[in-house]
Amino acid sequence: MTSIEVRAFLDRFAKAWEEQDLVTLAECYADNCEVVSPIFHTLHGLPQVEQSFRKGFKAFAAQAMHVDEVIVDDESGRRSASVWTTTVKHQGELFGIPATGRVFDVTIALALTFAGDKIAREVRVYDFTKMLVEIGALRTTKKEGV
């Protein structure tokens, strides 16, 4: 895909994620895709990816998704990296923690490899520590002067 096509794909992907549109999200992935996720570990195939979105949407409602940065491999057009800012609401149980109703921002980085116009491999990296603090699974102490 060209840089313009990847950017258009990511805009559509972000909108589908924000709207929790499982049909459109599923259309973004190859049948034999692989997704590496801090929460869901390594997922193999579209059915596992779809299930992870269902579970994720039970725990978090995406209030807003914004693609902040995009890098496209100009040599092949098959790979991209992007950084997103996501505003979410903790609306359901996660890691044994019931819904808190808290709304907070999370930074997500996605490394994508495409097969044609679909995601063949995705690696998700996000501020997992901040998410755990926000839902109350992890406590921090505030340092003086910081």
**Structural domain tally of the chain?**
1
Domain-embedded: residue 59: yes
pLDDT tens, position by position, 41-55: 999 999 999 999 999
Per the domain annotation, does 126 fall within a domain?
A: yes
Q: Is residue 112 part of a domain?
A: yes
**For position 11, which CATH number holds?**
3.10.450.50
Is residue 146 one of the residues assigned to a domain?
A: no
Which residues form the domain of 91? 3-135
**What is residue 81's DSSP assignment?**
E
Q: Which residues pair with 121 in a beta bridge?
A: 34, 113
Q: Is 54 exposed, middle or buried (0-12, 13-18, 19+ CB in 10 A)?
A: exposed
What would the pLDDT profile of 6-42 be if each residue is shown by its tens digit? 989 999 999 999 899 999 999 999 999 999 999 899 9
Q: Is residue 12 part of a domain?
A: yes
Residue 99 lies in a domain: yes
Residue 142 lies in a domain: no
pTM, to two decimals: 0.87
Kind plus residue range of the DSSP H or E element containing 99: none
Is 103 in contact with 87 (CB distance < 8 Å)? yes
What letter represents residue 101's amino acid?
G
Local confidence band at 76 (pLDDT 50, 70, 90 cut-offs): confident
For residue 86, is it left (φ>0), alpha (ψ between -120 and 50) or beta?
beta
Give yes or no for residue 124 having a pLDDT over 90.
yes
